[in-house]
Amino acid sequence: MTIESQPELTQLNPAYVTTTRIASALGYLPFLVGAGVLEYVQLLPPGCVFVPAFLLYLFAAFVVPARKYRHWGYDMGRDRLRIVRGYMFFRDTVVPFGRIQHIDVEQGPIDRRYDLATLTVHTAGNHNSTVTLPGLLHADALSMREAIRAAIRQDQI
């Protein structure tokens, strides 16, 4: 079930693909270096380690982020936030604004270059006590935070 089939869901910012590619390319680099070292000491026939490792690296760092992006989606309702993600492990989470305890907007160093941010909401539940939504434009994340906050305050009055 891709996100395109559900028109009510909003997709993440396309720049999310780029930031995830950079993050995973850097994150998986040690494995590639390790494979290079194994290749260098020549315990196995040439190419036995490095070639599969390199292909796996390319797949994880360049193909997977695009697939991930295709399966992320969210919907800001009047009184709830719905987040859909994953293909192999599909999750469709709904958090009512009335249950949100506090809200974070996070920006990592890579995110900052592309003006992206991650929105995290915390609830009092044990399961899913933090629900994160990455790949939002920073301004969007801030306005979503304000909207949720306003909804909470209105409920309490």
Are 82 and 68 spatial neighbours (Cβ–Cβ below 8 Å)? Answer: no
Nearer to another protein, 24 or 123 (CB): 123
Could you tell me which of 137, 140, 102 has the C-alpha nearest to residue 120?
A: 102
Query: What letter represents residue 20's amino acid?
Result: T
CB of 128 to another protein, least distance (A): 4
Q: Which of 6, 42, 128, 132 binds another protein (CB under 8 A)?
A: 128
Candidate segments 15-23, 25-33, 41-49, 124-132, binder of another protein by CB under 8 A: 124-132
Q: What is the footprint of another protein within residues 16-45 (CB under 8 A)?
A: none
> Taking CB under 8 A as the rule, does residue 6 contact another protein?
no
CB of 90 to another protein, least distance (A): 4
Tell me the CA distances in angstroms from 120 to 59, 100, 123, 143, one per residue in order.
Answer: 28, 10, 10, 13
Contacts of 40 (CB under 8 A, 6+ apart): none
Contacts with another protein by CB under 8 A lie at: 79-80, 88-99, 123-129, 131, 152, 155-156
